[in-house]
Amino acid sequence: MNLLSVSKLNAYYGDFQALFDVDFHAHPGEVIAIIGANGAGKSTFLNAIAGNVTGRGNSITFAEEAISGLRSWQIVSRGIALVPEGRRLFSSLTVEENLLMGAYANTKDAWPLTHIYETFPQLKLKAKQSALSLSGGEQQMVAIGRALISNPLLLMCDELSLGLAPMVVHDIYETLTTVRERGVTLIIVEQNVRQALAFADRVYCFQEGRVSLTGRAGELKPEDVSRAYFGLAGAA
C-alpha cells in the first residue's frame, strides 16, 4: 500500500508548465530523496503536494484520500508537513513562537513542545530568543521542529543542507534518522547526490519538470544518475 501516490501531476505558474506528468509514490516509512539540477521542479513538486502550488487534475492521493485541491492547512491536518526551501521563519517571533506556528493546523494531535526540545535540546536553551539570532543550522532545526510539531505521517524537507557546514549537516541528518525511526515517511530534496544516495531508500531524479530516473538508492549506476541529472547523453 502507498502512503502517497502521485499520478501524472502537471503544475503551472501562469502559462509556464513546471511539472509534466510526474508519477511518484511513497510507502509508509520509506525515505525518498529527490535530486536534480536547479530549476528541475523539485520545490514545485513538494509545494504541489503541500497545497502551495495547484496541480491540474485529481492526481494526488494520501492515505487513500484524494488531496488535490485542498488548502495547505487542510493538508497539514491530514499529516503532511513541509520544511520549505530557505526555512521561512518568522523573523519577529521567538524560537518557541515559531515552533508553535506549526501546531495551529493540528491542535488535537500536535506534539508537545517538550518532545521538540528532546529532539533538539539546543533549541530549549534559546526558546525565548528571536529566531533570527540563531545560527543557520539552528534555524534549520527550528524549521524542522515547526514541521514536526504538527505530528506528520509524511515530512518533506527542501534543501536542508544548503549553505550549512558539513558538521551541521551531519547533525541534521542524525536528527532525521531519529524521525525515520519513529516511522515518519520522509521525502527530502537534496542537492548533494552522495548524501541523498547514502540516506534514502529510493531516489527520484527530476530534469526539466519530468522524472528522468528512479530506483533504489543502492542500485542506481553513477553514470545513469549523471545522465538523468544533467541530461548529458553518455555523461560519466
Ligand X SMILES: Nc1ncnc2c1ncn2[C@@H]1O[C@H](COP(=O)(O)OP(=O)(O)OP(=O)(O)O)[C@@H](O)[C@H]1O
Region label for 159, one of left (φ > 0), alpha (ψ between -120 and 50) or beta (otherwise): left
For the record, the C-alpha cell of 45 comes out as 513538486
Rounded CA gap, 5 and 62, in Å? 7
Distance, in Å, from the CA atom of 79 to the CA atom of 231, rounded to the nearest integer, reads: 35
Integer angstrom CA distances of residue 129 from 92, 116, 132, 182, 217? 10, 16, 8, 29, 40
Q: Is 43 in the site for Mg ion (CB under 5 A)?
A: yes
Q: CB of residue 88 vs Mg ion: minimum separation in angstroms?
A: 13
* Stretch of residues binding ligand X (CB under 6 A), selected from 10-18, 103-111, 172-180, 212-220: 10-18
User: Could you tell which of ligand X, Mg ion, none binds residue 179, using a CB distance below 5 to 8 A set by kind?
Assistant: none
Number of residues in contact with ligand X under rule CB under 6 A: 12
- Spell out, one character per residue from 83 to 122, where the chain touches ligand X: x when CB under 6 A holds, - when not: --x-------------------------------------
If the CB atoms of residues 110 and 169 are measured against Mg ion, the closer one turns out to be 169
Q: Pick from ligand X, Mg ion, none: which does 38 bind, CB < 5 to 8 A by kind?
A: ligand X
- The helices-and-strands tally (H runs, E runs) of the chain is 9, 11
44 in contact with Mg ion (CB under 5 A): no
Cell output for 233: 547523453
Q: What's the min distance (Å) between Cβ of 38 and Mg ion? A: 8
Residue 5 CB, shortest distance to ligand X, in Å, is 20
Q: Cβ 230 to Mg ion, closest distance in Å?
A: 17
Q: Distance from first CA to last CA of the chain, Å, rounded?
A: 36
- Whose CB is nearest to Mg ion? 43
Nearest to 190 by CA among 32, 76, 44, 50: 32
Distance CA 5, CA 22 (A): 10
Residue from the set 1, 13, 121, 181 that interacts with ligand X by CB under 6 A: 13
Euclidean distance between CA atoms 37 and 229, whole angstroms: 6
Q: Is 36 in the site for ligand X (CB under 6 A)?
A: yes
User: Among residues 103 and 164, whose Cβ is nearest to Mg ion?
Assistant: 164
Site for Mg ion in 64-103 (CB under 5 A): 85
The site string for ligand X over 37-76 (x = CB under 6 A, - otherwise) reads -xxxxxxx--------------------------------
∠ at Cα 40 (58, 220), nearest 5°? 95
Binding stretches for ligand X (CB under 6 A)? 13, 16, 18, 36, 38-44, 85
